[in-house]
Amino acid sequence: MPRCDGNRVTVIGGGVLGLLSAYQLAVGGLQVTLLDRQLVGQESSWAGGGIVSPLYPWRYSAAVTALAHWSQGFYPGLGERLLASTGVDPEVYVTGLYWLDLPDEAEALAWAEREGRELLAVDVAQVRENVSALGDGFARALHMPGVANVRNPRLVQALRAELERLPNVRLVEHCAVQGFLHNDGRISGVETSQGSIEVDQVVLTAGAWSGELLAKLGLALPVEPVKGQMILYKCAEDFLPSMVLANGRYAIPRKDGHILVGSTLEYAGFDKTPTDEALASLQASAVALLPALADAEVVGHWAGLRPGSPEGIPYIGEVPEYPGLWLNCGHFRNGLVLAPASCQLLADLLLGREPIVDPAPYAPAGRLGVL
């Protein structure tokens, strides 16, 4: 028996998590309305770097690891299916990732051994054979050859096109949610800038804005905006064959020669203004990693807002105080990485199926405060 009563569901927020949640619920047979206050995929899903791995996977809890492992294996097939069905290539690009001069290299290798992940200690000379542009001064390296990156804006475009093909999905943009409808304590819909929408279930996937929306029900969700700034270079297509990461900053190659360098970690509320200070800091990191970038032009500089949460453990499941309201938010720096597993888990729970992983660590019960 399905867990939900009725088959109408509204998903609030059209980032990758909202788009994939809508897709999984629609494939499960529900009538889905996806709402976004602007155009879908314009916030952190657009702004992020798209590495299909946590930056330092061994530093996370087992809860994050479980979702990451499931999702990493899902992305190559997802990219192929979306290209075949929509004609839009999300460019899932397996380049591998080199970590340089890690302070916790032993812990990383122990984690990889325990989790059965391919992470190898390699000589820096070997790294230079593959990444000839690498800067001097690095002494140690770890390599995970199977790590991919995905081109976020193209992934959003492909997911949107896929949803538009489904007869049981309605996309409503420029539609801001202003509050929730509830009847005898059960959520029954949403109030929006375009009027009321009555449904059987509501799924909140609003990223950094999720806490503000849940506050309208008197609940405190410990999710706050964390600003991240990125810069973009254009180089020859063979300039950087692999992702590289040192001192918390990374360089990501795209297939067309663009190189992304990021990112900052700033607690500045909902301000998304790119700053000269961050530009200078990111350029310095870029040149330390890849000295040839000193002569390259920065062709893009932007900021996005991550949904910061305690330990980066997302909230996935029904809100016990308000039956009919479901969360899939609070993924912090790993929204894109964890999205496939998170959305599959949400659909499993909402539709009453056997969950792909133990849902207990992500359940909202006991993790929300009262305002």
Q: Are residues 175 and 137 in the same domain?
A: no
pLDDT digits 0-9 by tens, 90-115: 999 999 999 999 999 999 999 999 99
Q: Which residue is it, tokens 């993790």? A: 367
Are 181 and 319 in the same domain? yes
Residues 111, 198: one domain?
no
Same domain, 217 and 180: yes
CATH number, domain of 118, equals 3.30.9.10
d(CA 281, CA 301): 12
Nearest to 17, CA basis, from 38, 41, 33, 39: 41
Domain count, the chain: 2
Range of the domain at 360: 8-47+154-222+311-370
Please, what is the Cα angle at 256 between 13 and 21, to 5 degrees? 20
- Give the span between the Cα atoms of 210 and 326, in whole angstroms: 11
pLDDT digits (tens, 9 = 90+) for 280-325: 999 999 999 999 999 999 999 999 999 999 999 999 999 999 999 9
319: CATH: 3.50.50.60
| pLDDT (0 to 100) of residue 6 | 67
